[in-house]
Structures are given as C-alpha cells and as structure tokens.
Amino acid sequence: MVNTIKVTVWNEFRHEKEMEECKELYPEGMHSVIAEYLSELNMDVNKATLDEADHGLTEEVLDNTDVLIWWGHCAHNEVKDEVVDRVHQRVLSGMGLIVLHSGHFSKIFRKLMGSSCDLKWRCADEKERLWIVKPNHPIVKGLNKEYIELAEEEMYGEFFDIPEPDEIIFLSWFEGGELFRSGCTFSRGRGKIFYFRPGHETNPSYYNKDILKVIGNAVTWAADNSKLDVNFGNVQPLEEL
Amino acid sequence: MVNTIKVTVWNEFRHEKEMEECKELYPEGMHSVIAEYLSELNMDVNKATLDEADHGLTEEVLDNTDVLIWWGHCAHNEVKDEVVDRVHQRVLSGMGLIVLHSGHFSKIFRKLMGSSCDLKWRCADEKERLWIVKPNHPIVKGLNKEYIELAEEEMYGEFFDIPEPDEIIFLSWFEGGELFRSGCTFSRGRGKIFYFRPGHETNPSYYNKDILKVIGNAVTWAADNSKLDVNFGNVQPLEEL
Amino acid sequence: MVNTIKVTVWNEFRHEKEMEECKELYPEGMHSVIAEYLSELNMDVNKATLDEADHGLTEEVLDNTDVLIWWGHCAHNEVKDEVVDRVHQRVLSGMGLIVLHSGHFSKIFRKLMGSSCDLKWRCADEKERLWIVKPNHPIVKGLNKEYIELAEEEMYGEFFDIPEPDEIIFLSWFEGGELFRSGCTFSRGRGKIFYFRPGHETNPSYYNKDILKVIGNAVTWAADNSKLDVNFGNVQPLEEL
Amino acid sequence: MVNTIKVTVWNEFRHEKEMEECKELYPEGMHSVIAEYLSELNMDVNKATLDEADHGLTEEVLDNTDVLIWWGHCAHNEVKDEVVDRVHQRVLSGMGLIVLHSGHFSKIFRKLMGSSCDLKWRCADEKERLWIVKPNHPIVKGLNKEYIELAEEEMYGEFFDIPEPDEIIFLSWFEGGELFRSGCTFSRGRGKIFYFRPGHETNPSYYNKDILKVIGNAVTWAADNSKLDVNFGNVQPLEEL
C-alpha cells in the first residue's frame, strides 16, 4: 500500500574525476555511495550527473522522481538554465529536493530561495558537531544521540544568507569558533526542500552511518506529500452563497 | 514493521447526555464516532471520558497512548489539575495531541500555549469553508479538494489568542464575515500538537468524511515522531576538544 | 536624531493612462496618491514609473531609497531584467520593499520568493474584510479597529503560492466565499519585505485612510533595519581559540 | 511625540548579597547596572526585587511599565503565583518582557512558553560567541560586528526545550563543544518577549557594552507595540452582509 519512493541522486561528479584525493575517497562518485545506501532502504534509486545529456535530468527521468538529491560545487554555472527551470517547475509541483553541502550555491537552490545563499567557509579539516534542535522531527528518526560528530569537515559559518527556514533541525558547531544552521527545511509551491550541510568532497562524511540515516530520513520526509491539486486564475462569477 | 498507532479519544461527554439535540446526533458521544473511524484505519483505539476515574487518563492508559484526542467544552474546570499535569508531561515527552473545537479553552491546551486561547464565536448554524493553505502537508492527504465545506457550524473568529503556529494548514471562512486559523500545528517539548476547529456539539461535523480524514491524518502525523532522548542539566567537565 | 525615511513609490502607471475608469479615479496615478500621503508623514518621497529611462530606478535613485513601493500589473514583462537584478541586489543589501496588490506577479517579487506567486482572482467589486491577526505588530499601529472593510475590491483567493511568510498580519475575508493571506512579511538577505493585497486599479482603496495608514506603517517598519555588515567567503586560518 | 519608554528591571537580588564573588562584581545588583545603562538612553527606569512587598511588582508599578526585564535563578519558587499571574496577564495585554539568562526557568517564562524550558549547562568560565543570524533586526542595531564575544561565561546547551521561536537573532557557540539559541523572540497575546542568554552572576557580562546595547535595543523593540484592542466572546447576531 505504501508506494516505493523513487529517488534520483544528482552529482556534478567532477571532483571525483579530477582531484586525486577525492577520487580515492569516492572512486564511483559521492552519489554512488548515497545511492547504494538508499537502495538498501528499498527505494527505487536512479543516478544522474552533469556530463550526461540534459545533465541526466530529462522530463522522463523527472517523471520518475519523487525526490531529487543535489550535490554540486565547481561547475554550478555549467548547469543549463533550461534544466534548472525544469527542476524548479517540478519542485513547485511537489517533487522533493534535498540539497547537500556546496549545493547551497547551485542555481536551483538560489532560484528557490530568492536570496544570495552566501556564507563563510574554511577548509581546515576541523571538527563539526551537528546538534539536533528538533528532537521530534521525522528527519532525525533512529539517531539515538544528541549530536552527530564529524572529525574532519569543511567549516561553513553564519551569516548564511537564506530566507527564514520553516524548521531548523540541526545546528553545527565548529572547532574554530563558528556555527551554522546546517539542517533546514523549506516549502516552495507544493515541494518540500531540505538543506543538509555535510559533506566536503575530500572528507568521508557520506560514509558516516548517521549522515546517511539523515539523508534517508529526509528523502522519506520529502516524499510524504499530499500534493493536492490547486487551481489558479480567474474564478467566475460571484456566487450567491 | 510499522507499529500500530495507539490513540485515545477523550471526550467530556456531557452535552450528549444532557442536550436533547446533541443526544440525538451523537447518541454514544462524539468520541465514539471518531473512535469508530480510527478503528477502520487499523489504529488501536481507546476511549476515555471526564466522568471516569482519573477522567479515564491513568498513567497506564497514557503508557498505551501515542496520540491523545481532546474534546471539551462546558466542564473544562472539572478536569483535575493533577490529570492536566500528567497529560502535559506526556506531551512534552512526545505524546501527540489533537485538540478539537471548544478544546481551545481546555486547561491542557492553555497550559501548552501559554496564552489565553480566547476567540470570538457565534452559534448561528452558518456556512464554514475550511480552505487548505498548505497543500503539501501530510494532514491534508487524500482530500482531493481545495476546501472542506460545512453547511452549518458554530463560527469562531479572530483574533484567536494563540502563539504563532508552526504551520497553518487550514483557514476558515464564515458566512457572517469572520475568518479563523482553523488548522494549526505546534511543537512543545518533543510532542506534536494539532488544533482543528470543527465541530460544534449540535452539528454533524464528525460524520463528515473529510473532517474524519483530517483527524485520521493528524493522528498519523502526530505519531510520526523521532522522540529522541534528550539530556538536561549539568554537563561536566569542560573537555579538551 | 531619527533620519528622515527616503521612500520611492514605483508604479507601472499604464492603467491610469489607458483605462477611462482608472484615469478618473487616479488622474495622476495611484503612486501619486500614496506619495502624497507619505509626504504628509514627513518622509522624503520620490516617484518613479515604468516608462521613464531605467524605469526611473537608476543606481542614483536607489542610493537615495530606504524603502521602495511597487505596483505593477499588465506590463510586468516590460520591466527590464537588468533593473530587476539591480532592485534585487538592493533588497538583499537592506532596502525595504512594499509590494502592493497585483505586484504579487512582478518579476522582482517572484525572484525574491522563489515560487510562482500565483493565486485565484475575481473582479466583481465585492466586499473585503482585512482581519488583523497580529494586533501587536508595528504595521497596524493606530488602526483602532479589528478589521479594515473595503466595500468593493477585486478578490484574491488561496492557494496563494508563496513561501511561508515570516509573519501574517492580515487575513482577508471576501463576500464570495474565499479568503487570502493579505498582509505578509518576509526577510531576504538584509531586506525587509511586506506584501499588502489591496488595491485594484478601478477601486478607490488607496484613498482609504486605513489602507494608507498601513502602507505608511509598513514603510516605517521596513526602514527600521540594523543593516549590519556581513562578510562572506573564505575565513583563514583555523585559529587557536 | 515619541513617548518615553517606562521600564522596570526586576532582579531576584540574592546572589549579590550572599555570594562574595557576585557581591564584588555587582555590589548594587545586576539590575542596577542594567538600570543605569537604560537611564542613559533616557528611558524612565524603575527597579524591583524579590524581597520587596509583592516582589516590587504591584498593579501600580505594572501600570507604569511598558517593558519588564527579568533576572532570577536560585529563588524561582519563592515568586508568588499571584504575582506571576499578574505579570502573565500584563504580558498578554501588551507589556513587553525581556527574560535574561537563568530566567529561562522562572515561573513566568515557563508559564508563557508552555514547555519545560530546560537545557544543559556547565560553569567553567568558558568562551562564548554570540553569532548574529538576523542582521536586519532592530535588536542588533548599532553592533557593527558579526558576533559578540564574552571571554568567560556559563555554558547553556541544546536541546533548549522552548517552543519554536518567532525569530532567532543570536546563536551562541561555546568553547566546550555546545551551542545554543541564545537570542529568541516570542509573541504571546499582544505582548512581545525576548529571551537573551547572558549573563551568569559571577561573570561581568552586564558590563559589556554590546550586551547592554542588545538589552536596550530589545526594550525599544518590545515597546514598539500597536496594542490594538481586541474583543473576545459572543458576536451576535448573524448579519446580512
């Protein structure tokens, strides 16, 4: 009775080919590690990358996507506006979107947020603690701890120029003195969006079981959507009620 | 793998015994109509009423309650503070709470909200339209319409003295010129709370299939809770990180 | 010690030239009526319209604008993207923005919101009641009533496809059975935004003293901005704390 | 034309009499330091303490209070319920309330919040950085920095069991690995509430110019209140509209 969730994991997939350190860590790409985890949850998982035709995000692929996961960094500008508009329309129509890490600066996230989405950052392999500040939320199901600790991560710091999130699930503490709203939900149209801060391309964050659990929970949360039909436009005439 | 949701439907259950009009409409009480519907959803349903010992809300009953539904009106003050405190603790610990209609003035709702919870009202069997303003929310799943129309209801009007809701799902339009935030979610501690405005004791709103669907969805939503353990108090010593 | 607020009232200013009914009602444009009121509040008021060079919104004009008011309808697409981007940057940097009525579909509002901003509408000169649901907010200062009634207005109805507002100040009830979130605040970057639903070009809403009072209050609210400097980008090195 | 703001600074005022360390730091009480600063802003300042009759919070005093500041810690339970109810009613009627530091556990704050208001803590004179995450808010006016740093403070950590704040202005980073939502606004009834985390009784935080500036701004913000009259109760009859 519960339908299988159809999820597409999108990755820029350049660092893994071009940076030795990243290639060793994620030989088949970060998206493949995430996709494998989601498959174990019995989700129907598809992978898509920048260098495919239409970036792997054709109308047909999106027709078969309940939730899209997005990782991008060095090539945000290579994503075609036409594809960004297509994804934007789908989100407004109810497709879920999980934006990871440097995806904060992707065209699609900025278009949905309406603000610059800029932030502070530092690459120093420093300690991050993601504190849970909404312990009743479905996205933290099964964590059994009060924070997730990552021994080495890139730092992202405030001010993070996003609109007020609907919900803040995680706040990150960093060794060097900064903090960050690192797990935030948003609603746009009928779509549900989750921004999740980890992981940097040279840190093994997507092998962390808790990080994977959060991503899996977020997909389930984003797919839990009524997607009611709504009508826009002219309503005529004025009825006698 | 999904656990059966345990729900307790609490009703003051006085109007149904004392008012002829109400007795005819709900001979076994409003709670029985709601309970029957929830049973059809394969929930594990319990009923409790004011005139039972401990108002039917013993620790044992609450141990077996994931979500509590509350309807009260003329006898709010007869609810013992001890029971109110017990329910309050349970909500903070993660039990879901659905407050219906005149339950806005119950001790438990006011204690959770911290404000007066006062409002305007008029009994004139007038038309109400509950417009959905969050069409992606799990609480409106399966409605397949943009508003629920009730031909005859009591009017509740703004200003409704509640804290800012976390989410507004429904806004009610009334024939006589008023409107109301009629479907609102709140979070207190680890508990999830939904206030839902219908139904007046002399109107057949709890026989309306859409109203029942919303109540059922709300129970499912409130039970979808990570209930992570949280520790409070002294944390010692200052670690070297 | 309090600086004079510099406000620019922008209007498409086409209906007033092209529609007889509108010309009679607002011979010098809706913006002129609003501007006159704001001048009486001792604000420093400038007017700008679509058909001026750069739509009257040069960098120099914006340098002298604390808060921009926007009314547009039939010619949204004639607003140059370059000017939209310029205004967008200014809002993110802290300029206030008041978007009126059909401005919901303007390029600038949609760019800031990230959603379609679509809605239902009906032109039937019907009654609107704007109920105040946040009676402690500076935007409703001095109203001394619980709702503003307009005898004849265009209807706007839900679902209004906007992100969750930071605050809902007004909810509108309409004679024909619809309702609308008609006074909403948003934050984007360091800018403060207020969307306010009235007034249709053939209705005299901008002559209504309460509507004018709300617009004046909103300008004062939007100009009440710390505009703290924020730094983005690389933070180096990892300090010993 | 702008009325002078009437502020009452309430302090438990026990530590300053009983703890040598605190007595030396604040010989006339923390409230006196805050009161002196507010006087310099030309506010009309009154002081009140626990051991006065009615805790110094008579109806007459509250009649002359636009905003009440609250500091308490070891003697929360000595505050009479009657006075708590009196203050609660005033807040719902529009009096502003600024709750400082250990006031998170005061009867009045808990009554207004409806949750336990519990948290983690550690007394280790550790470094705190209060990061500003809402740089356009009136409460951070004039700070000219991105965070306030306090060399030595008590740590407060999440999960902080409060309802979702209306706005989060500050997030605190602590040396020992925790973080905290340390500057939060709430609305209850027509009252505006600000919770601000510093300062521990043995740390000189209330001598810090930035902390004082925030408190002063918060008083101004809380006093900026429309306080519209609202009517509750029966509305009769159903009008023909």
The yes-or-no verdict on residue B49 having pLDDT over 60 is yes
Query: Is B140 in Cβ contact with A226 (below 8 Å)?
Result: yes
Tokens 């005139």 correspond to: B51
Does the N-terminal peptide bond of residue D135 adopt cis geometry, omega within 30 degrees of 0?
no
Q: Region B155-178: what's the mean pLDDT?
A: 98
Query: Is D113 in Cβ contact with B230 (below 8 Å)?
Result: no
Q: In this predicted structure, what is the pLDDT of residue C239?
A: 77
- Ramachandran bin of D125, using left for φ above 0, alpha for ψ from -120 to 50, beta for the remaining angles: left
Query: Is B120 in Cβ contact with D231 (below 8 Å)?
Result: yes
Chain C nearest-CA residue for B168: C164
**Residue D194 is which amino acid?**
F
- Partner residues linked to A174 by β-bridges: A128
Chain C CB contacts of B159 below 8 Å: 131-133, 135, 146
Q: Is the dihedral of CA C86, C109, C115, C186 positive or negative?
A: positive
Query: Is B121 in Cβ contact with D161 (below 8 Å)?
Result: no
- Cβ–Cβ contact C130 with D under 8 A: no
The Cα–Cα gap between C84 and C61 comes to 14
- Using the 8-state DSSP alphabet, how is residue A134 labeled? -
**Residue D78 is which amino acid?**
E
Tokens 């913000």 correspond to: D221
Chain A nearest-CA residue for B147: A230
Query: Is D119 in Cβ contact with B238 (below 8 Å)?
Result: no
- Cβ–Cβ contact A42 with B under 8 A: no
Q: Is the dihedral of CA C207, C208, C213, C219 positive or negative?
A: negative
The yes-or-no verdict on residue A221 having pLDDT over 80 is yes
| Among C120, C178, C189, beta carbon nearest to A115 | C189
Per the CB < 8 A criterion, the answer to whether D81 and B150 are in contact is no
The Cα–Cα gap between A46 and A35 comes to 7
Tokens 């990080």 correspond to: A211
Touching C: which chains, 3+ CB pairs < 8 A?
A, B, D
Chain B CB contacts of C181 below 8 Å: 133, 171
User: Which of C86, A207, A148, D87 lies closest to B228, judged by CA?
Assistant: A148
User: Which of A25, A195, A205 lies closest to A128, judged by CA?
Assistant: A205
Q: Report ipTM (2 d.p.).
A: 0.97
Per the CB < 8 A criterion, the answer to whether C11 and C100 are in contact is no
Q: In this predicted structure, what is the pLDDT of residue B168?
A: 98
A144: enclosing H helix or E strand: none
The Cα–Cα gap between C149 and A198 comes to 51
pLDDT of D6-47, one tens digit each?
999 999 999 999 999 999 999 999 999 999 999 999 999 999
What distance in Å separates residue C115's CA from the closest CA in chain B? 14
Taken as a whole, chain B contains a residue count of 241
Does the N-terminal peptide bond of residue A237 adopt cis geometry, omega within 30 degrees of 0?
yes
Structure confidence at residue A226 as a pLDDT band (50, 70, 90): very high
Distance of CA B34 to the CA centre of its chain: 12
The Cα–Cα gap between A135 and A147 comes to 10
Sequence-separated (6 or more) residues with CB below 8 Å from residue D26: D16, D32, D33, D201, D206
The yes-or-no verdict on residue A2 having pLDDT over 70 is no
- Using the 8-state DSSP alphabet, how is residue B78 labeled? G
- Using the 8-state DSSP alphabet, how is residue D157 labeled? E
| Among A132, A141, A241, beta carbon nearest to B127 | A241
Query: Is A173 in Cβ contact with D171 (below 8 Å)?
Result: no
The Cα–Cα gap between C132 and B99 comes to 24
Q: In this predicted structure, what is the pLDDT of residue A238?
A: 86
Q: Collapsing DSSP states into helix, strand and coil, what is residue D218?
A: helix
- Cβ–Cβ contact A142 with C under 8 A: no
pLDDT of A160-174, one tens digit each?
999 999 999 999 999
Per the CB < 8 A criterion, the answer to whether D235 and B178 are in contact is yes
Chain A nearest-CA residue for C234: A121
- Cβ–Cβ contact B240 with D under 8 A: no
- Using the 8-state DSSP alphabet, how is residue D93 labeled? T
- Cβ–Cβ contact D193 with C under 8 A: no
Angle between helices B30-40 and B209-223 (to 10 degrees): 70
Whole-number Cα distances in Å, D228 to B231, D174, D190:
41, 41, 8
What distance in Å separates residue B179's CA from the closest CA in chain A? 16
| Among A146, A159, A174, beta carbon nearest to D133 | A159
The Cα–Cα gap between D183 and D170 comes to 4
| Among A135, A164, A171, beta carbon nearest to D171 | A171
Q: In this predicted structure, what is the pLDDT of residue C236?
A: 85
The yes-or-no verdict on residue B78 having pLDDT over 80 is yes
- Cβ–Cβ contact B81 with D under 8 A: no
Q: In this predicted structure, what is the pLDDT of residue D236?
A: 85
What distance in Å separates residue B127's CA from the closest CA in chain D? 11
- Cβ–Cβ contact A161 with D under 8 A: no
Q: Region B39-47: what's the mean pLDDT?
A: 98
Query: Is B241 in Cβ contact with A175 (below 8 Å)?
Result: yes
pLDDT of B181-238, one tens digit each?
999 999 999 999 999 999 999 999 999 999 999 999 999 999 999 999 999 999 988 8
Predicted confidence pLDDT, tens digits, chain D (241 residues): 468 999 999 999 999 999 999 999 999 999 999 999 999 999 999 999 999 999 999 999 999 999 999 999 999 999 999 999 999 999 999 999 999 999 999 999 999 999 999 999 999 999 999 999 999 999 999 999 999 999 999 999 999 999 999 999 999 999 999 999 999 999 999 999 999 999 999 999 999 999 999 999 999 999 999 999 999 999 988 877 7
The yes-or-no verdict on residue A237 having pLDDT over 70 is yes
The Cα–Cα gap between D31 and D12 comes to 9
Interface test with A, best of B192, B221, B226 (most A CBs within 10 A): B226
Per the CB < 8 A criterion, the answer to whether C185 and C5 are in contact is no
Report the alpha-carbon angle C88-C92-C98, nearest 5. 70
Chain D CB contacts of B118 below 8 Å: 232-233
D8: enclosing H helix or E strand: strand D6-11
C&D contacts, CB < 8 Å:
78
Ordered DSSP codes for C55-123: GG--HHHHHT-SEEEEE--TTGGGS-HHHHHHHHHHHHTT-EEEEEGGGGGSHHHHHHH-S----EEEE
Cβ count near B46 (within 10 Å): 17
- Cβ–Cβ contact C227 with D under 8 A: yes
Interface test with C, best of D145, D167, D170, D228 (most C CBs within 10 A): D228
Q: Region C8-17: what's the mean pLDDT?
A: 98
Q: In this predicted structure, what is the pLDDT of residue C153?
A: 98
Residue B67 dihedral angles phi and psi, to the nearest 5°: -140, 135
Chain D CB contacts of A179 below 8 Å: 129, 131, 171, 173, 179
Q: Collapsing DSSP states into helix, strand and coil, what is residue B134?
A: coil
| Among C111, C159, C176, beta carbon nearest to A230 | C159
Query: Is B133 in Cβ contact with C159 (below 8 Å)?
Result: yes
Per the CB < 8 A criterion, the answer to whether C196 and C214 are in contact is yes
The Cα–Cα gap between D219 and A180 comes to 27
Tokens 């805050």 correspond to: D34
Per the CB < 8 A criterion, the answer to whether D9 and D31 are in contact is yes
Whole-number Cα distances in Å, B124 to B20, B135, B203, D239:
18, 30, 11, 10
Q: In this predicted structure, what is the pLDDT of residue A236?
A: 85
Query: Is D119 in Cβ contact with B114 (below 8 Å)?
Result: no
- Cβ–Cβ contact D143 with C under 8 A: yes
Whole-number Cα distances in Å, D104 to D33, D196, D235:
20, 9, 38
The Cα–Cα gap between C157 and C179 comes to 5
- Cβ–Cβ contact C231 with A under 8 A: yes
Q: In this predicted structure, what is the pLDDT of residue A53?
A: 97
Query: Is C146 in Cβ contact with D225 (below 8 Å)?
Result: no
- Using the 8-state DSSP alphabet, how is residue D175 labeled? T
* Buried-state track D28-46, b at ≥16 Cβ within 10 A, e below 16: ebbbbbbbebbeebebebb
Residue C11 dihedral angles phi and psi, to the nearest 5°: -140, 140
User: Which of A72, A174, A173, A71 lies closest to A122, judged by CA?
Assistant: A174
Tokens 């996507």 correspond to: A65
What distance in Å separates residue D135's CA from the closest CA in chain C? 5
What distance in Å separates residue B125's CA from the closest CA in chain A? 14
The yes-or-no verdict on residue C2 having pLDDT over 70 is no
Half-sphere CA count of B152, side-chain side, radius 13 A: 8
Q: In this predicted structure, what is the pLDDT of residue B2?
A: 64
Per the CB < 8 A criterion, the answer to whether C34 and C47 are in contact is no
The yes-or-no verdict on residue B166 having pLDDT over 90 is yes
The Cα–Cα gap between A128 and A206 comes to 14
pLDDT of A137-190, one tens digit each?
999 999 999 999 999 999 999 999 999 999 999 999 999 999 999 999 999 999
| Burial class of residue B103, CB neighbours in 10 A (0-12, 13-18, 19+) | buried
- Cβ–Cβ contact D241 with B under 8 A: yes
* Buried-state track B203-234, b at ≥16 Cβ within 10 A, e below 16: bbbbebebbbbbbbbbbbbbbbbbebebeeee
Cβ count near D207 (within 10 Å): 14
| Among A136, A190, A226, beta carbon nearest to B141 | A226
Query: Is B121 in Cβ contact with D163 (below 8 Å)?
Result: no
User: Which of A2, A213, A199, A186 lies closest to A91, judged by CA?
Assistant: A186
Angle between helices C30-40 and C209-223 (to 10 degrees): 70
The yes-or-no verdict on residue B240 having pLDDT over 90 is no
